[in-house]
Amino acid sequence: MLNNKTILIMASGIGSNFEAIIKYFKQRKRNDIKFQLLTNNENAPVVKKAKKLKIPYLYLPNEKIKSYLLDNNFEYDLIVLAGFMKILDEEVTSTSKIINIHPSLLPKYKGKEAIQRAYFNKDAHSGITIHYVNEKVDEGEIIYQKKIEIEANWSLDKFEKEIHKLEHYYYPRIIDYILGLNVLVVGGGAREHVIAQKISQSKHLNNLFLYDCNDGFSDIGIQLRAKNYTALAKAAREKNVSLAIIGSENYLAAGIVDIFKKYNISVIGADKNTSKLESSKLYAKKIMHKYFINTSKYEKITKKESIDKVLDNFKNPVIKADGLTGGKGCYLDDDIDEIKYQLKMYLQGVYGKASKTSLVEERLYGIEASLFSFFDGENILHFPLCKDYKQNQQGLNTGGLASICPFKINEENEKLLDEYKDKIFEMLKNEKIKNPFILYSGLIFTEKGLYVLEFNVRLGDPEAQSLMNYVQNDWLEIFYKCANRMLKTIELVLNDERQYCIVVASKGYPGPIKTDVELKNLELLNEYDKDANLYFSNVEIKYDRIFSASGRVVSVVGANKGIIYEFIKKIDFEEKMFIKI
């Protein structure tokens, strides 16, 4: 059930923050949130703004404010101070949920004229603080701070305008966050299952919606159905969704983020242009070269007649489809005749249009790892390295059959990694990428240094399963702050133990498989209490029984590898296939 919220905004003056808050929620069609203005200045310009914005208002003299709030605080989910010129009584602040915004980095410059004091003291930086209100002036618990540098050529008027920009951007978003978020997770695999599960545990969640999920985790949230992405965006707006998280590269490459942005829905995911970092390996290679990021020697190929000529330029060739193939469009083999045959199949369209343009690359040897970096348009947050295992028992590449997090590397490689992190931050800023997204760097540490095998623009599967169980933060906080340029405030909280993810797949994967095979004994997971978690890749539930629906079926995650394999062996699934790591 969707919960309506009521906010009381208290203001005494011009009302620029009041106006910014109202416009933020109106632009997002948030009909689940009702506003009321309370002022102690009946002639204040904020009253005119309330009338124009059709927000009900109430004027009370100062001596009546306390009794009104004590009598009516139960009606409001949140009280927001927006330039309210009166100190509230301790009895009020102790019984009401009240927040305030202050134009300095508290505890510096409490009280009046904070902007002027920072400016005339020639401070190098200043900012804003959003905090809970207690009986003392500007001393309540800090919720969020945003810092800016004060440039030497700024006038006082320019400085004030910059502070107000911060207030108008961040205050509405923090209010949204405090009230509780309606979140949509788009996608149906084990990666989306772990995202949905972690978000469902957040104290900041109001309602969780799911789109295109598989039956295995459909009960975690409320399912949305739509015939296309535009219809989905409209449905999300009708459900007052504050944040959408896009799981799979297929949605991103198709431009779902661009559509959601038109409907003023905050979204974590690369827009269509940025998605080319994953949807075209050729484009990614060009970007890597532009920013002097090490990657293997490569050559584009589109014609079967060019196969021998191109392969002659490579000592140990690897072939990769240029487009999206679900992680399966990479082939390597020591037999050059097999390479030639597979390359011919690629160019003939074994992966459809995605492989009709392919790349031949020089094969690199070393230690592979996955780096996930959240980028919010201004800041970047790097997560601990993961490692995934793509090859099945026959040595064929899959979408991934196991992962671990963290993956430890030596001190020399750590230095290389730090240098690489600086390069990708420079790349993202210089490419003027504004929409928040997740950059997935497929890395290899070789004798000659660190190289990038590929870029992706989302969390990996199965890396997400191990990563999200290793990082102990409130994941909704991470996603929301990434969506709203607040990543700088996140400090990672890590599990004491490494997390392993083992995927149970159908025999034959990544080739032809048998589906609609029943999985039994999954309830035996309960015997392991909290020692293992189960995430569904793709299953169908029929007659209260669970059946396989794809190559990858379930992921089992935990800190104890022995327990994971013990449980997997108990799963009764006649098509079962998994690897040992």
- Regarding whether 128 and 56 lie in a shared domain, the answer is yes
- Regarding whether 412 and 316 lie in a shared domain, the answer is yes
- Among 431, 452, 484, the domain-final residue is 484
The residues pairing with 330 across neighbouring beta strands, listed in sequence order, are 320
41 inside domain: yes
30 inside domain: yes
Residue 115 DSSP code: H
- Among 484, 513, 531, the domain-final residue is 484
Structure token pair of residue 261: 């942005």
Question: In CATH, what number is assigned to the domain containing residue 72?
Answer: 3.40.50.170
Q: Torsion over CA of 507, 513, 515 and 521, rounded to 10 degrees?
A: 10
172 inside domain: no
**Residue ranges of E strands in 447-565:** 449-456, 499-506, 518-519, 533-536, 539-542, 545-548, 552-558
Longest dimension (CA), the chain: 90
Question: In CATH, what number is assigned to the domain containing residue 547?
Answer: 3.90.600.10
328 inside domain: yes
- Regarding whether 41 and 146 lie in a shared domain, the answer is yes
- Regarding whether 369 and 257 lie in a shared domain, the answer is no
161 inside domain: no
- Regarding whether 103 and 209 lie in a shared domain, the answer is no
Please, which residues have CB within 8 angstroms of residue 248's CB and are 6 or more apart in sequence? Answer: 186, 187, 189, 191, 192, 458
Closest CA to 431 of 484, 375, 393, 392: 375
- Regarding whether 440 and 343 lie in a shared domain, the answer is yes
What number of other Cβ atoms are within 10 A of residue 345's Cβ? 15
Question: In CATH, what number is assigned to the domain containing residue 205?
Answer: 3.40.50.20
- Regarding whether 16 and 111 lie in a shared domain, the answer is yes
Residue 326 DSSP code: T
Burial category of 471 from C-beta neighbours within 10 Å (exposed 0-12, middle 13-18, buried 19 and up): buried
Cα gap 217→436, rounded to integer Å: 26
Residue 81: helix, strand or coil by DSSP?
Answer: strand
- Among 484, 516, 543, the domain-final residue is 484
- Regarding whether 292 and 259 lie in a shared domain, the answer is no
Closest CA to 439 of 320, 213, 284: 284
- Regarding whether 193 and 137 lie in a shared domain, the answer is no
Closest CA to 233 of 267, 263, 270, 269: 263
- Regarding whether 152 and 18 lie in a shared domain, the answer is yes
Cα gap 177→558, rounded to integer Å: 30
- Regarding whether 350 and 455 lie in a shared domain, the answer is yes
Number of compact structural domains in the chain: 4
Angstrom distances, CA of residue 265 to CA of 134, 277, 490? 33, 23, 22
408 inside domain: yes
The residues pairing with 454 across neighbouring beta strands, listed in sequence order, are 442
Which residue range forms the structural domain that includes residue 26?
5-156
130 inside domain: yes
**Side by side, which strands form the sheet with 298-301?**
298-301, 358-362, 317-321, 330-332
Local confidence pLDDT in tens for the 581 residues of the chain: 457 899 999 999 999 999 999 999 999 888 889 999 999 999 999 999 999 999 999 999 999 999 999 999 889 999 999 999 999 989 999 989 999 999 999 999 999 999 999 999 999 999 999 999 998 889 999 999 999 999 999 999 999 999 999 999 999 999 999 999 999 999 999 999 999 999 999 999 999 999 999 999 999 999 999 999 999 999 999 999 999 999 999 999 999 999 999 999 999 999 999 999 999 999 999 999 999 999 999 999 999 999 999 999 999 999 999 999 977 888 888 899 999 999 999 999 999 999 999 999 999 999 999 999 999 999 999 999 999 999 888 888 888 999 999 999 999 999 999 999 999 999 999 999 989 999 999 999 999 999 999 999 999 999 999 999 999 999 999 999 999 999 999 999 999 999 999 999 999 999 999 999 999 999 999 888 778 999 999 999 999 999 999 999 999 999 999 999 999 999 999 999 999 99
Cα gap 39→230, rounded to integer Å: 41
142: left (phi over 0), alpha (psi -120 to 50) or beta: beta
**pTM for this entry:** 0.93
What number of other Cβ atoms are within 10 A of residue 537's Cβ? 27
- Regarding whether 549 and 418 lie in a shared domain, the answer is no
149 inside domain: yes
